[in-house]
């Protein structure tokens, strides 16, 4: 449990020497309590204080990096149960299952689908993050062969090796040395051997048990064996259990600082019905899962899951925004059209995407409205005629263009007269309401 | 360290609101825990999904969601019967879109007749919605409420701008009422208070905190719903205890992702599956954040969400 500023203060040197950049030890302690400073700023702090504070300030859900390199995924570090309290920290990873019973060409196809899964949405690059190789055959050779195929064709993609057979695990994991794979399948009967493999290979250990009590006991045992990085699974299969167990795990970790469950959660949501699988994955995304293993990754399904994850993990206080400026789309000439919108990321990316679709080189003036959409900004008095006029004037765009025409979003048609009043010599044109009307609108003007 | 599940005890409870009449009547809400938290309390009723139909052909819906209804959607009565008999709808939501001044501008009398006709053809609960034109909805819903007298429908949506007449009509004709505000917990509370101050029983309300589609503000609806539910349960805030509505279909089926052809957006995959998945996923997120009543359009999306609900209870 996090310590209060006063509790932290008691552990500091209390000399008020200011070396940490704060006027007093108490001031520094307050910053520490708010996580706005780190302990290493104080050169004189005792080892004992470091130990106590280190333990107390460790995030309730252990931070773990899964995979290595550019495609590594951060997990854990969560502190709350509800997204309105504070931004959820590390978005969950999506993995697709590759069974070792599949043929080489089927496996290759799955790997290619993963590698081609990257989509740009609202300026973020999103993809299927990982591949979960499962030992469905029960055969060590087949498991190793599948792992070989994955490691050669997708050498940078994080991997989950799913088997309870320690010999199979040992053979396959060597292929991912130094790549921080998850070795999933430590249970009450193989925990010692699995812990050993994970320790030697510096892998993350996936620990599974029936129910939360057994799971806590098992993680404690494994921790005592020297494995620190684990992902946990309470044997949740039904959507009801995913929701229930994940909730109790997150609660135990964040509210009680219960360390045996203070690890990222992994959920397996495979279903024969791909649409139902998507929805169960949706439960896992909203309810605290850190790794979600799917059986299939159709493009439409990926887009839905990426979008849901993005929505759940956005900052509830600060909408996603883009920089205020005049963006060139294509290579605009002086006579090219000039449009205006707000700096809410979603708005910007939708509108700029449609302008691109039109193939008409254009300028898009993006005005800072604190990340609000057009209508919201208008309703909140941030996208007003006065502010628009001021922004256009101060941008200096007039000297780059040969016309004085500003195209405004159709939803704020009501502003056209008053902008004309405030922007001398300008003509305001009302564009379509929805951005998907822009290609036709721009093409018709260009013709 | 032994594990002890940290169970919450909540001081409040969601009102149980009964809709419809006879054997097919349904209950909304009634639980004393967060959504699907049956491990620490009682959840007596499953969420209900209503099939959305209109008094005018759904020419404004994308083709993929028009298609399943193409043989019946020219006639609201046939459409309603089809949902009930063929698709096994547990409830139906009739949107009187044709009354909108920018559409057919139908009179309240014409709307009332449609309501009567639909009601005489079905026995599942009916939700009667205006065209979301605050001014016009008032007379339309008054006429509709009379036409549906004593069938225990839900009438909506009452908004700050028009609630008075609609509340009076719901009260006079023994209906339940949807109170809608715009994505703000305080506005929502305020409207519920205004409505109950008129003498309307707070246990007959359904709150609509305003829906939004996945990718288009879903996170706002999601968090507003969670906060409303937390206020109801942990602070026992009586004004926040009505069940909640998520009017999913109309928000989802207008966005680009639900309709852009795969030829234009090859990375987005199959258009039809994408639209269905979008609607079902939006619904899923709102179920876990607190909705007990959903209004949806595509039969396959509804079917999938119903399967999920079976897994969640
Ligand atoms: C999410 C949301 C919010 C969020 C803010 C989200 C954000 N970052 O902006 C929150 C909860 C904070 C919010 C608050 C408010 N909101 Co609000 N909100 C919405 C909601 C649900 C979605 C907005 C959205 O994200 N749209 C998506 C973006 C992409 O749309 P957009 O920016 O308009 O862009 C589209 C078009 O305008 C066009 N376009 C954009 N730029 C350009 C440029 C050109 C040249 C052209 C041609 C076209 C074009 O293309 C885009 C896609 O088609 C809408 C209702 C709805 N479903 O639309 C209400 C809505 C915008 N909100 C509304 C209101 C009234 C408010 C509040 C004043 C009231 C309140 N509830 O407190 C506050 C004000 C905010 C404040 N004081 O800080 C009203 C506005 C009513 C009106 N017509 O004036 C709406 C329409 C709800 C309603 N039906 O009444 N809101
Ligand atoms: S550096 Fe350490 S001892 Fe000096 S004021 Fe800061 S906290 Fe106190």
Task: Mark which of A256, A285, A312 sits at the end of a domain.
Answer: A312
Alpha-carbon gap, residue A350 to A356, rounded angstroms: 10
Percent of chain A predicted with pLDDT > 90: 85
Determine the pLDDT at residue B108.
98
Q: Distance of CA A48 to CAs A12, A57, B55, B271, Å?
A: 10, 14, 74, 61
Tell me whether residue A319 is in a domain: no
Query: Do the Cβ atoms of B308 and A280 come within 8 Å?
Result: yes
pLDDT tens string A331-349? 999 999 999 999 998 899 8
Q: Which ligand places an atom closest to the C-alpha of A46?
A: 2
Q: Is the CB of A415 under 6 A from ligand 1?
A: no
| Section A398-421 average pLDDT | 95
A342 and A374 part of one domain: yes
Q: Is the CB of A237 under 6 A from ligand 1?
A: no
Query: Do the Cβ atoms of A278 and B285 come within 8 Å?
Result: no
Nearest CA of chain B to the CA of A163: how many Å?
Answer: 27
On the 0-12 / 13-18 / 19+ scale of CB atoms within 10 A, B94 is: buried
Determine the pLDDT at residue B227.
97
Alpha-carbon gap, residue A267 to B158, rounded angstroms: 41
| Section A46-52 average pLDDT | 86
Task: Return the CATH number at A77.
Answer: 3.20.20.20
> Which residues on neighbouring strands pair with residue A115, listed in sequence order?
none
Tell me whether residue A345 is in a domain: yes
pLDDT at A299 over 70: yes
3-state secondary structure of A125: strand
Percent of chain A predicted with pLDDT > 70: 99
Q: Residue B77 — pLDDT band, cuts 50, 70, 90?
A: very high
pLDDT at A301 over 80: yes
Q: Which residues in chain A have their CB less than 8 angstroms from residue B218's CB?
A: 308, 311
Alpha-carbon gap, residue B257 to A118, rounded angstroms: 17
3-state secondary structure of B283: helix
Strand pairing class (A159-162; A291-294)? unpaired
Task: Mark which of A289, A312, A335 sits at the end of a domain.
Answer: A312
User: Which residue from B3, B37, B256 is facing A216, i.e. has the nearest CB?
Assistant: B3
**Minimal CA–CA distance to A284: which of A262, A305, A299, A302?**
A305
Q: Distance of CA A140 to CAs A110, A148, A163, A291, Å?
A: 21, 12, 9, 25
Q: Which residues in chain B have their CB less than 8 angstroms from residue A302's CB?
A: 269
Tell me the residue ranges of DSSP E strands in chain B.
Answer: 16-19, 26-29, 48-54, 91-95, 126-129, 154-158, 176-180, 205-208, 244-247, 291-296
Q: Is B159 on the interface with A (CB under 8 A)?
A: no
Tell me whether residue A423 is in a domain: yes
A261 and A356 part of one domain: no
A162 and A78 part of one domain: yes
Return phi, psi of residue A395, to 5°: -70, -20
Determine the pLDDT at residue A58.
79
The residue segments making up the domain with residue A422 are 325-446
Q: Which ligand places an atom closest to the C-alpha of A9?
A: 2
Q: Is the CB of A434 under 6 A from ligand 1?
A: yes
Within 8 A by CB and 6+ apart from B227, the residues are A82, A84, B185
pLDDT at A76 over 50: yes
A233 and A117 part of one domain: yes
A45 and A81 part of one domain: no
Interface of B with A in 239-268 (CB under 8 A): 256-257, 264, 267-268
Q: Is B3 on the interface with A (CB under 8 A)?
A: yes
Ligand 1: atom nearest CA of A408 is: 45
A382 and A437 part of one domain: yes
Q: Is the CB of A143 under 6 A from ligand 2?
A: no
pLDDT tens string A99-133? 999 999 999 999 999 999 999 888 888 999 999 99
User: Which residue from B1, B218, B307 is facing A260, i.e. has the nearest CB?
Assistant: B1
| Section A422-437 average pLDDT | 94
Which range, of A134-143, A437-446, B191-200, averages the lowest pLDDT? A437-446
Scanning every residue of chain A, which has its alpha carbon at the shortest distance from the alpha carbon of B271? A300
A307 and A335 part of one domain: no
Q: Is B274 on the interface with A (CB under 8 A)?
A: yes
A53 and A73 part of one domain: no
Determine the pLDDT at residue A298.
97
A246 and A180 part of one domain: yes
A39 and A120 part of one domain: no
Q: Is B183 on the interface with A (CB under 8 A)?
A: no
pLDDT at B311 over 80: yes
3-state secondary structure of A264: coil
pLDDT tens string B84-114? 999 999 999 999 999 999 999 999 999 999 9
Tell me whether residue A320 is in a domain: no
Alpha-carbon gap, residue A231 to A146, rounded angstroms: 23
The total domain count for chain A is: 3
Q: Which of B216, B272, B287, B312 to mutate to test the interface with A (most CBs of A within 10 A)?
A: B312
Task: Return the CATH number at A44.
Answer: 1.10.15.40
Tell me whether residue A318 is in a domain: no
Determine the pLDDT at residue A1.
47
Determine the pLDDT at residue A39.
86
pLDDT tens string A364-387? 999 999 999 999 999 999 999 999
| Section A137-159 average pLDDT | 97
Domains with residue ranges and CATH for chain B: 16-312 (3.20.20.20)
A15 and A108 part of one domain: no
ipTM for the predicted complex comes to 0.93
Across chain B, mean pLDDT equals: 96
Determine the pLDDT at residue B10.
95
pLDDT at A35 over 90: no
Determine the pLDDT at residue A50.
86
Task: Return the CATH number at A336.
Answer: 3.40.50.11600
A381 and A268 part of one domain: no
């Amino acid at each position: 449990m996090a310590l209060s500023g006063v509790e932290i203060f008691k552990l500091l040197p209390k000399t008020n020497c200011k070396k940490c950049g704060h006027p007093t030890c108490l001031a520094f302690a307050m910053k520490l309590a708010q996580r706005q400073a780190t302990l290493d700023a104080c050169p004189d702090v005792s080892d004992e204080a470091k130990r106590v504070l280190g333990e107390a300030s460790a995030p309730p859900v252990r931070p773990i990096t899964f995979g290595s390199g550019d495609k590594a995924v951060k997990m854990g570090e969560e502190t709350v149960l509800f997204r309105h309290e504070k931004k959820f920290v590390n978005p969950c990873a999506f993995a697709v299952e590759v069974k070792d019973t599949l043929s080489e060409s089927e496996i290759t196809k799955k790997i290619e689908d993963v590698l081609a899964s990257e989509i740009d949405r609202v300026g973020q690059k999103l993809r299927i993050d990982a591949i979960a190789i499962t030992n469905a055959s029960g055969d060590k050779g087949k498991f190793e062969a599948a792992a070989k195929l994955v490691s050669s064709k997708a050498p940078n993609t994080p991997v989950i090796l799913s088997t309870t057979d320690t010999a199979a695990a040992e053979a396959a994991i060597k292929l991912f040395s130094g790549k921080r794979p998850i070795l999933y399948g430590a249970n009450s009967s193989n925990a010692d051997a699995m812990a050993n493999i994970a320790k030697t290979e510096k892998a993350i250990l996936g620990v599974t048990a029936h129910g939360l009590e057994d799971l806590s006991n098992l993680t404690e045992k494994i921790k005592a064996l020297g494995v620190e990085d684990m992902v946990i699974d309470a044997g949740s299969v039904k959507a009801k259990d995913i929701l229930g167990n994940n909730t109790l795990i997150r609660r135990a970790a964040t509210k009680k600082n219960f360390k045996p469950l203070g690890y990222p959660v992994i959920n397996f949501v495979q279903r024969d019905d791909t649409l139902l699988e998507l929805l169960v994955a949706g439960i896992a995304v909203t309810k605290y899962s850190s790794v979600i293993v799917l059986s299939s990754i159709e493009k439409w399904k990926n887009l839905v899951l990426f979008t849901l994850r993005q929505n759940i993990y956005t900052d509830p206080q600060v909408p996603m925004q883009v920089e205020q400026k005049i963006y060139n789309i294509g290579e605009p000439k002086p006579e090219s059209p000039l449009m205006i919108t707000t700096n809410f990321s979603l708005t910007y990316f939708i509108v700029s995407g449609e302008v691109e679709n039109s193939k008409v080189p254009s300028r898009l003036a993006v005005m800072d409205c604190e990340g609000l959409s057009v209508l919201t900004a208008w309703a909140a008095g941030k996208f007003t005629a006065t502010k628009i006029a001021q922004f256009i004037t101060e941008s200096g765009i007039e000297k780059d263009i040969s016309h004085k025409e500003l195209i405004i979003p159709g939803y704020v048609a009501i502003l056209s007269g008053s902008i004309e009043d405030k922007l001398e010599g300008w003509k305001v044109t009302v564009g379509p309401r929805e951005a998907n009307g822009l290609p036709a609108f721009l093409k018709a003007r260009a013709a | 360290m032994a594990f002890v599940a940290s169970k919450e005890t909540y001081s409040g409870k969601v009102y149980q609101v009964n809709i419809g009449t006879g054997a097919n009547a349904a209950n909304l809400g009634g639980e004393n825990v967060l959504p699907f938290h049956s491990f620490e309390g009682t959840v007596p009723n499953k969420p209900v999904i209503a099939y959305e139909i209109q008094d005018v052909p759904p020419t404004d819906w994308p083709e993929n969601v028009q298609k399943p209804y193409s043989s019946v959607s020219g006639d609201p009565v046939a459409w309603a019967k089809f949902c009930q008999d063929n698709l096994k709808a547990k409830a139906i939501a009739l949107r009187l879109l044709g009354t909108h001044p920018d559409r057919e501008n139908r009179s309240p009398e014409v709307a009332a007749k449609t309501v009567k006709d639909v009601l005489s053809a079905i026995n599942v609960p009916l939700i009667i919605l205006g065209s979301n034109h605050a001014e016009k909805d008032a007379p339309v819903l008054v006429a509709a409420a009379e036409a549906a007298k004593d069938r225990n429908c839900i009438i909506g949506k009452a908004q700050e701008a028009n609630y008075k007449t609609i509340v009076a009509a719901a009260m006079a004709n023994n209906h339940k009422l949807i109170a809608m505000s715009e994505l703000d917990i305080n506005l929502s509370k305020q409207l519920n208070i205004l409505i109950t101050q008129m003498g309307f029983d707070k246990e007959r309300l359904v709150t609509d905190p305003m829906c939004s589609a996945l990718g288009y503000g879903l996170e706002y609806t999601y968090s507003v719903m969670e906060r409303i539910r937390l206020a109801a349960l942990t602070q026992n805030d009586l004004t926040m205890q009505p069940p909640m509505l998520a009017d999913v279909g109309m928000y989802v089926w207008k966005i680009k992702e639900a309709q852009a052809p795969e030829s234009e957006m090859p990375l987005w995959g199959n258009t039809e599956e994408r639209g269905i998945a979008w609607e079902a996923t939006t619904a899923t997120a709102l179920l876990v954040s607190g909705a007990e009543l959903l209004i949806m359009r595509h039969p396959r999306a509804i079917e999938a969400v119903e399967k999920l609900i079976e897994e969640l209870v």
